[in-house]
Amino acid sequence: MRARKDKKMEAVKVTCVKKAFPGPLGPEEVLKGVSFSLEEGSFTALTGCSGSGKTTLLHLLAGYLKADSGTICLLGRHLQDMSPKQAAIFRRRHVSMVFQEAALIPSLTVEENIVLPLVMDTGRLLDQDRLTGILESFSLSGKLGRYPAELSGGERQRCVFARALFSDAELILADEPAAKLDTRQSLELMGALKECAHTWHRTVLMATHNLDLAQICDRELEIRDGVIHFL
């Protein structure tokens, strides 16, 4: 586990970011000058009505999309200064994107799904003590040999976040991760995400339409009319 730092750094800084998409009557501007920052080790909810631009913003932060204008600085690196190859490598090593459906390989066990990205990328040997600590944090102890089909929906999502921790991703972007979970599973997942931020010192930004879950986060940002409102 990483040592706790006394002084928190700025993990994300977004300045005047705009993004438009082609429409039947011309470009349709979704983001109209978004600006905000996130401290490392923070857990932030990103809210807004359907179509407000939550997923677009997450995809910009992950480097899947390129902003029309403005700047995005992640962990001290400016995305606009990176080539597509550099952005892909940066994302693989520092950013984890989690979607509604848990992206697990069905033919691999829980352990294999968690360790595979880091082992393939770095060739690093398995740190069993670290893996055990992460599994305990996510209430997955005893599930190592199980396959995704043998897990509940909540367990599959916690497995994805455990993989993000084990891969050393400093920034975790979650797009409606609790959308298909029941209330109990959603609350368990929120506890796991708080663990990511407060115990493992990762920066977590979660898009959600569930305002009850948003209130559990440290902070809430709302996208409305193409800009960020601080709640």
> What is the tens place of the pLDDT at every residue in 84-107?
889 888 988 899 988 877 688 999
Q: What pLDDT is stored for residue 2 in this prediction?
A: 46
Contact in structure between 13 and 207 (CB atoms under 8 Å): no
In a domain, 33, yes or no: no
In a domain, 181, yes or no: yes
Which amino acid, residue 93? R
Tokens matching residue 139: 């209430």
pTM confidence score: 0.88
Range of the domain at 144: 44-65+81-218
Identify which has the larger pLDDT, 229 or 84: 229
Interatomic CA distance for residues 162 and 164, integer angstroms: 5
In a domain, 105, yes or no: yes
> How many domains does the chain divide into?
1
**CA-wise closest residue to 138 among 92, 61, 182, 199:** 199
In a domain, 161, yes or no: yes
CATH number at residue 195: 3.40.50.300
In a domain, 15, yes or no: no
In a domain, 131, yes or no: yes
Q: What pLDDT is stored for residue 1 in this prediction?
A: 42
